[in-house]
Structure 1
């Protein structure tokens, strides 16, 4: 098991994980502050949290209502 963890290219994976968490936090804050969204707000929160890297991007592209 230890050998398997040593073979993982952590230098490539850590920035992707950090980007995912930053996008998720920004999208959650934006969703909580927006008065109107395209669809129920609770659905967008679930999409942001559970659809990993694509969820926050989907929210920023489709979930925000342009005023």
Structure 2
């Protein structure tokens, strides 16, 4: 448990918050529109399991242009 005390949380916390915000926005977008390039369920798994890069990949490749 002493390893947790040595982690620089002030550097890691902004990345965790960014990851959470991107994941929520991407999930809301994919659920709201449900028209994606590829299977709908696949994009949900990519967003949730892809951590920081999953939502970014969805916004670049997964959204279908209107």
Q: TM-score range by the shorter chain?
A: over 0.9
Moved over 3 A (4+): none
Match of 1:65, SS?
A: coil
TM-score, normalised on structure 2? 0.95
Q: Which residue pairs with 1:38 in the alignment?
A: 37
The aligned length equals: 66
Aligned to 1:58: 57
Following superposition, the deviation at residue 35 of structure 1 comes to 3.6
Deviation at 1:33, TM superposition (A): 0.9
Structure 1: segments with no counterpart, 5+ residues: none
Q: CA RMSD for the aligned pairs?
A: 0.8
Q: TM-score, normalised by structure 1?
A: 0.93
Query: Once the 2 structures are TM-superposed, how far is the Cα of residue 34 of structure 1 from its aligned partner?
Result: 1.1
Alignment partners' CA distance in 2, 1:18 and 1:35: 25
Q: 1:10 matched to which residue of 2? A: 9
Unaligned 5+ segments in structure 2 are none
Aligned-pair distance for 1:6? Answer: 1.4
